[in-house]
Chains A and B, each alone.
Chain A
Amino acid sequence: MNFNLSTPEIISLALWAVALVALVLWGQSCRKKHRNFVGNRKIYYTISAIVLAVALGGLLVKGLKFGLDFTGGTIVEVGAPQKVSATTGELANWLNQRFPDIQDVQVQLGQTMEVAPNGKSYQKILFRAKGQGDRVELEPEECTALTQALQEHLNVGELVPLSITSIGPTVTGELKRGAILALMVALILQLLYITLRFGNQMRYGLAADLALVHDVVIMTGLYALAGLQVDSPWVAALLTVAGYSVMDSVVIFDRIREQIKSQKGTFEKVVNDSLNQTMTRSVNTTLTTVIVCVALYFFGGVTLKSFAFALLVGIISGAYSSIFVAGPILVEIDGWARRRDATRAQERRAAAEERARERGVSSTTPQDEHDYPTPGELPETSGGASMGAPAPRARRRAKGTRRRA
């Protein structure tokens, strides 16, 4: 079986394999070692900030390249029987001069020769253009003329047409609106669901959504940096990552909810214990999903490459953010809430004392006891089983053998 992998691709595949093995080993080490994720959160915030800065920089400097789905126009894909020596820039310039009626000419060349089912090998040439003014799509005659002219210019034999795609302005407008609407609706639906599931507390949904925004920005920025085109598969990847990132955070929150019931530490300790306990799961899940995406990226053919790239970036960022952003952010939110409550309580007490002094009564105000909520306290919810299990870190050795660790 010929996979048509180029040398750089084989090297990067090997690097991926090494990285995944390293991740497995790290996940193993998490079983034995209790790490202070929450205490070191400044480090993780810094890492996030750097990646976010790179992503935003990429977005600002390079900008997003929109695919045919979003701009409208026509893409003609042909196969050349021999490798083309001209560069894409040269070809685009030449086509622009030769056909003044069309604009936005872009040319892409396949990296390697591909083998058709009939055994002949070919190099893919892809050119994309728009008509002048209101006329977005090209006429079939224009596509034929373009191909014909290119064939004469390149002189590498007959160019075999592979596909022609035209998209008009109506579809592109709807797609843009649809994509933005879809992301907003997904965000709101997930926020609602989490709020409902976590005892009507907004903070969990907010933390998960913040982590999600983090992933979306990184995904978009790195996509811009890689110079890939934003099209409908990209929107699909974005929303999948949205679901995945929130799912990842929710699993950790679930553990936090359970730990709050079974242990009496500070909220910070509860979150940190939960992160440690779910770490092996996080590593394993990320690993299996990443393996699948790597397979799609390297072996899924050209059409799925950019899609798989978007998923890879999103899923890795999603795993990182659910552990190192969502959890610590929850601690921050808890801290803010407590400080806010404390200030309010103090103000209220001061006001009560003021009133009391005016009336000339003693300044003790019993009702103030209610103003100090237990940090991270949660009402009972239906889902989690609360059977008062001992905290797993204090686990007894079972009589059976335990081979690792």
Chain B
Amino acid sequence: MNKNQILINLAIIAAITAAILLGFFGVSPENSLKLKLGLDLRSGTHITLRLLEVKDPETGEVVRINEEIRNRSIQVFTRRLNAIGTSEILIAPAGLDRIIVEIPEMTDLEKAKDLVKKAGRLEFKEKRLVDGAVEWRTRMDGRYIAKASVAKQGMGDDSWAIEFQMTSKGTRVFGDLTTELVNQPLGIFFDNSMVSEPVVREPITGGSGQISGAFTLQEANDLANILNAGALPVDVEILEAYTVSPTLGEDSLRRSQIASLLGIGIVMLYMLFYYRMPGLVAAVALVVYSIWVLGCMVIPGLEFVLTLPGIAGFVLSIGMAVDANVLQFERVKEELWNGRSVRAALDHGFDRAFSSILDGHVTTFLGAMVLFWFGASSVKGFGITLMLGTALSMVTAVWVTRQLLYFLTDFLKIDDQSMYGA
């Protein structure tokens, strides 16, 4: 490798590192890159949902969960949760029939569960007597509702009603229905339970109406919000739910940061004392490695979320990155004892250590990949960080370290064997 090539490589390394650092700290605080923190490092509620297969009420066929239903459900959840005004809500598919919902800063588990659990199905039903028994038959559902809002109901008491406005098509359908049902009761059902049963006095052709059910203001607000977001195509079941308080989240973040920095610091010192010049290079490579890992985590589209297990995975991958350097430097020492010059020992030592490093990294990577495939969501975070870490440490520990050492020998003329541990 000639001198120019080494300079070019070093320039590339420096440019990537500088670009990442600039992205994090350089520009104004609002525009700088930020790591997405998992719920376990801040506060909020995590819910794992399953979409349930339902029978179509008209045809009696079982509706299978497919990608379209899942995506429609995600859209409904997005609309519902956006209305509560918390930023960075995560609504992600996890397999075909699972959806993960994470609401940062919301620690009221009950309310969160309510928000996602309600199917949001509004139905207008006609009362019929079949063999003396009352039967409600659905005539119209909530899909035509253009806008729902909250209004004060009655006088004196603190009860609230929901006002709705239909779309133009809905206005027509609702007009026909109320014309047909004059002087008969119209059942208003929400998620299969009756909210009210008013008697139609005259046809409603304006497309607007009121649902009075003696709601509190909070209930009325939530209901209007759910109606505005539309109904879920299927029912859902909550599989897993937890909240993390701000106290716990911040504490975990702070402690894991201390632990990582402490771990990296001691490892760097050890390398420096043990291997001297190459040790210094390893320490620099470790810094480059850490910055690159952070850089990879904010690549748009990869959507890395830093979780507590993720930090543990990162810290562990540092141990593995150092292992590659240890293998190389031990080889270089052997080559020096065999009487080679520093530069030749570096070349040979690195070449001969490569197959061990590759094997070690591949086996670790395989383990991490399996974790990512089969693990639960918390374990997935650990798996992906470990995968990223092993892949990157292959680059930094092998390539970056080598360029830095060549710079020392070829440009700074530091080629006294004692500096390399011989």
Contacts and interface: CB of A to CB of B under 8 A. Distances in A.
A307 B316 CA distance: 12
B255 interface: yes
B268 to A, nearest CB: 10
Name the residue in A164, A277, A389 with the highest tally of chain B Cβ atoms < 10 Å from its Cβ: A164
A384 interface: yes
Given A170-B50, A303-B40, A254 B308 contact: no
Given A186-B366, A285-B319, A295-B263, 16 more contacts: A161-B245, A171-B376, A178-B374, A239-B367, A240-B367, A240-B386, A247-B359, A285-B327, A291-B267, A291-B270, A296-B256, A301-B255, A390-B338, A397-B339, A398-B417, A401-B417
A385 interface: yes
Contacts of B411: none
B116 to A, nearest CB: 14
A398 B251 contact: no
A288 B263 CA distance: 9
A402 B419 CA distance: 10
B418 interface: yes
Contacts of B244: 162-163
B352 interface: yes
A233 B381 CA distance: 11
**4 cross-chain pairs, A with B, having the tightest CB-CB distances, nearest first:** A243-B367, A301-B255, A289-B319, A400-B417
B382 A236 contact: yes
Name the residue in A167, A296, A403 with the highest tally of chain B Cβ atoms < 10 Å from its Cβ: A296
Q: Give the interface size class of chain B.
A: 35 or more
A237 to B, nearest CB: 9
Interface in B243-302: 243-248, 250-252, 254-256, 258-260, 262-264, 266-267, 270-271, 274
B417 to A, nearest CB: 3
Interface stretch (B27-35, B68-76, B169-177, B329-337): B329-337
Contact of B337 (A3, A162, A385, A398): A398
B59 interface: no
Interface stretch (B82-90, B158-166, B233-241): B233-241
A338 interface: no
A54 B271 CA distance: 35
A384 B331 CA distance: 13
B318 interface: yes
Nearest to B271: A288
Contacts of A258: 352
A107 to B, nearest CB: 18
A401 B312 contact: no
Given A185-B374, A189-B370, A281-B330, A116 B247 contact: yes
Tell me the interface secondary structure of chain A in the complex: helix
Interface string A24-37: 00000000000000
Contacts of B361: 247
Contacts of A288: 267, 270-271, 319, 322-323, 326
B379 interface: yes
Interface of B: 40, 48, 50, 107, 109-110, 113, 238-248, 250-252, 254-256, 258-260, 262-264, 266-267, 270-271, 274, 308-309, 312-313, 315-316, 318-320, 322-323, 326-327, 330, 334, 336-340, 348, 351-352, 354-356, 358-368, 370-371, 373-376, 378-379, 382-383, 386, 416-418, 422
A299 interface: yes
Given A162-B247, A243-B367, A398 B336 contact: yes
A183 to B, nearest CB: 8
A77 B248 contact: yes
B15 to A, nearest CB: 29
24 contacts: A79-B247, A114-B251, A162-B245, A166-B240, A178-B374, A182-B375, A190-B363, A239-B371, A244-B320, A246-B363, A254-B356, A281-B330, A288-B323, A289-B316, A292-B315, A295-B260, A300-B312, A301-B256, A303-B308, A395-B337, A398-B336, A399-B339, A400-B336, A401-B417
Q: Give the interface size class of chain A.
A: 35 or more
Interface in A238-256: 239-240, 242-244, 246-248, 250-251, 254-255
Name the residue in A170, A239, A304 with the highest tally of chain B Cβ atoms < 10 Å from its Cβ: A239
A117 interface: yes
B338 A392 contact: yes
A168 B238 contact: yes
Given A117-B250, A295-B262, A284 B274 contact: yes
A376 to B, nearest CB: 18
A251 B360 contact: yes
Nearest to B48: A171
Given A236-B379, A398-B422, A311 B316 contact: yes
Given A236-B379, A304-B308, A243 B267 contact: no
A69 interface: yes
Given A398-B336, A400-B418, A383 B358 contact: yes
Contacts of B370: 182, 185-186, 189, 239
Interface string A148-179: 00000000000011111111101100110011
B355 A300 contact: no
B373 to A, nearest CB: 7
Nearest to B418: A401
Contacts of B383: 236
A400 B422 contact: yes
A247 B271 CA distance: 21
Contacts of A1: 258
Given A116-B247, A400-B422, A236 B375 contact: yes
A118 B245 CA distance: 13
A349 interface: no
A94 interface: no
Contact of A117 (B242, B246, B358, B360): B246
